[in-house]
Structure 1
């Protein structure tokens, strides 16, 4: 949660860049990584403050 407006986290750009590196490295090291269930079955948290998935089952 990075906040928004005047309360926005100053580290947000760095954290987003780090995630790009992590995901790229993960996919290179585990090229068979895939969802373990259909995308339609992935439940999302979607309220006024938090957006994301409850859990993300993967297989490789």
Structure 2
């Protein structure tokens, strides 16, 4: 069974979102080169148990 959004009919917004994220993160790390978590990673709030989607990530620099 194929995952939704895969195969020949992928969402066009997926590619735009990835490009935007690359630009935003690149700019952020150039302007703020020393971000640090203010709480342990285990205390981060992840969306639906995902290992990648966080709803809050407190940082300082």
- The root-mean-square deviation of aligned C-alpha atoms, in Å, is 2.2
Deviation per CA, 1:4-58: give whole Å up to 9, x if none. Answer: 36xx6322101111111110110111011121111111121116xxx72221101
Provide the TM-score with structure 2 as the length reference: 0.68
What count of residue pairs does the alignment treat as equivalent?
Answer: 54
Structure 2 unmatched runs, 5+? none
Structure 1 unmatched runs, 5+? none
- Which has the higher Rg, Structure 1 or Structure 2? 2
Task: Give the ranges of 4+ consecutive aligned residues of structure 1 lying more than 3 Å apart after TM superposition.
Answer: none
Look up the match of 2:19.
17
Provide the TM-score with structure 1 as the length reference: 0.69
2:29 is matched with which residue: 27, 30, 34? Answer: 27
